Structure 1
Amino acid sequence: MEQPPGFANSKHPDYVCKLNRALYGLKQAPRAWFQRISSFLISYGFTCSRADPSLFVFTQGESLMYLLVYVDDLILTGNNSSLLTVFINRLHQEFVIKDLGSLNYFLGLEVLHTNDGLVLTQTKYANDIVIRAGLTHAKPVPTPLSTSDTFVSDGVPFDDPTLYRSLVGALQYLTITRPDLAYAVNQACQHLHALTEKHFQLVKRIVRYVKGTISHGLVFTRPTSSTILGYSDADWARCIETRRSTYGYSIFLGGNLVSWSAKKQPTVSRSSCESEYRAMANAAAEIVWITHLLQELRTLPPSRPTLLCDNRSALFMSQNPVSHKRAKHIDLDYHFVRELVMSGKLHTKFVPTKLQLADIFTKSLPRPQFEHFRDLIRVHPLPFRLTGDKR
């Protein structure tokens, strides 16, 4: 390590400093730091969540504290203010930390508190993406992709793959608060190693959509109920090159979107029923994880979760112990979903296609349908506030 400016040894200016310990830059540093902070939290009375290793839960009678750890950034909340104050003082004694007060900014996520909940946005991060793409003065578009846009391998190779990968990686992080981008970004991510001019033009369209909706974010309101409701969907043989299906799901807790996914299935499905059923299995696995997490948070709803699907054949397979030729090769998913339904841990129901919210994660939609589903998954622009409003 070079001698820092102002502290150089005048007699030996070419000498270097011996580094005894460093928090950043070493491969084992994150693991060592997490071991240090987790040991302190466990000794204080916290328990590490089995569903999420970065979450710690403290219980004392009816009092609860939740602590989320991301390297050296911590989020702390609870239902007992005096207990929180005592713990924060103890943290100050153990570590050199800075209390930033109410949560407003975390890992690029902006948190706006409203009268009935909060809004998660990445407005500054989204604006940086638009500037990086050189589209500051570009005309916005109403949807990330048009219904005729497809990512195919044929075409003229793009001469700046680093720019493409940089933009797609940034857009992928933006989907944390913008689930309406999930399908389009997933399509762009599948061509990082063999990209063409056409691919870059489609990514630019996604950025132009971001520019037009730069103030949008994910809205959370006070729940009117505590039910878990999931939507599962698959677009059979969506990929025209591999004929693999694209599946997606969206899971709501008390009316708020808490989990979603848009992915290509790893294998080819022989029928739409098979692709839909595999999508149900993935959604069911996510619902099971959410129930485990809520159970550790002591907020598990009393009613069983419900999974909605718009394919009656897939629903029949989940509710009836009848195996037939078309289901022979999908026994693993069959038994998994079937046993959840039989044990009363999951309820499956039919939903009409026009109400299938997971459609926004499986295909490009026309503008009216896209905007309708975007509203239903609660991606809205920031609420208007007058200057000086302290609410």
Structure 2
Amino acid sequence: MHDPQKPRFSALKRILRYVRGTLDYGLQLFSSSTIDLVAYSDADWARCPTTRRSTSGYCVFLGNNLHSWSSKRQPTLSHSIAEAKYQVVANAVAETYWLKNLLRELHTPLSSATLVYCDNVSAVYLSSNLVQHQHTKHIEIDIHFVRDLVVAVQVRVIHVPSRYQYADIFTKGLPSALFEEFHTSLSIRCPPAPTAGER
């Protein structure tokens, strides 16, 4: 805002054109035979050119429906891609843990472990590694929180190839075909045209 330049103005125009073209889109909910909690988490690493902070994103499905999502800049600098990705895994686990407790209070307890998908093998390994390394001490609380739930078999952190990482839509620009596929997988669609009897 204080120093507008042509590239930023072009990006703003692109965003406005996208918003104008998707005004009719919405989140559609469907009946689901399962009530499992599944989360996808992702982070870019130090992508912001001015602050070098990472952007975190996750989405949580309850059954077949997208229930919650988040995309925001991480409050601290990450020393590695594994750390940035692990912090968003911890955020996704915290969200699913809260939802699991809410469902228990509503007398609908979940019987299976929550699945949290991450596309970084090191972050997946950190979730079940019982050895605390010196270079991970600064994220110790996140590590213990997630690891305790993994040990209690309430959460499973699983590697997912980037091709199936739906949370990428919240953290980075994607090719058009992949973007279309991911937002369809998140149940973001244009509603069907009403029939004559529905008006």
Q: Higher relative CO (CA 8 A, sep ≥ 6), structure 1 or 2?
A: 2
- Classify the TM-score, shorter chain: over 0.9
Deviations 1:156-178 (A, max 9, x none): xx5xxxxxxxxxxxxxxxxxxxx
Q: Aligned in 2, Cα 1:195/1:258: closer, same or farther, shift over 3 Å?
A: farther
Q: Which amino acid aligns with 1:281?
A: A
Match of 2:58 in 1: 249
What is the deviation of 1:200? Answer: 4.7
Selected match of 1:229 from 33, 38, 41: 38
* CA distance in 1 between partners of 2:155 and 2:90 (Å): 11
SS of 1:292 mapped into structure 2? helix
* CA distance in 1 between partners of 2:108 and 2:17 (Å): 40
More helix by share: 2
Selected match of 1:363 from 172, 175, 184: 172
Match of 2:75 in 1: 266
SS of 2:179 mapped into structure 1? helix
Q: Does 1:340 align with 2:140?
A: no
Q: Does 1:324 align with 2:133?
A: yes
SS of 1:262 mapped into structure 2? strand
Q: Alignment identity in percent?
A: 46
| Number of corresponding residues | 198
SS of 2:197 mapped into structure 1? coil
* CA distance in 1 between partners of 2:193 and 2:109 (Å): 34
* CA distance in 2 between partners of 1:377 and 1:354 (Å): 15
Q: Is the 8 A contact 2:112 2:154 kept in 1?
A: no
Deviations 1:256-285 (A, max 9, x none): 000000011111111101111111111111
Match of 1:214 in 2: 23
Selected match of 1:302 from 93, 101, 111: 111
Match of 1:313 in 2: 122
Normalising by structure 2, we get a TM-score of 0.93
Deviations 1:232-277 (A, max 9, x none): 1111111111111111000000010000000111111111011111
Describe how 1:58-73 pairs up with structure 2 within 5 A. Answer: none
Selected match of 2:4 from 196, 202, 225: 196
What is the deviation of 1:204? Answer: 3.1
Q: Which protein shows a greater Rg? A: 1
SS of 1:225 mapped into structure 2? coil
* CA distance in 2 between partners of 1:237 and 1:215 (Å): 34
Q: Which amino acid aligns with 1:353?
A: S
Gaps of at least 5 residues in structure 1 are 1-157, 159-193
Q: Aligned in 2, Cα 1:207/1:328: closer, same or farther, shift over 3 Å?
A: same
- More deviation in 197-206 or 358-367? 197-206
SS of 1:384 mapped into structure 2? coil
* CA distance in 2 between partners of 1:381 and 1:292 (Å): 33
* CA distance in 2 between partners of 1:197 and 1:235 (Å): 25
Deviations 1:119-157 (A, max 9, x none): xxxxxxxxxxxxxxxxxxxxxxxxxxxxxxxxxxxxxxx
* CA distance in 1 between partners of 2:29 and 2:9 (Å): 34
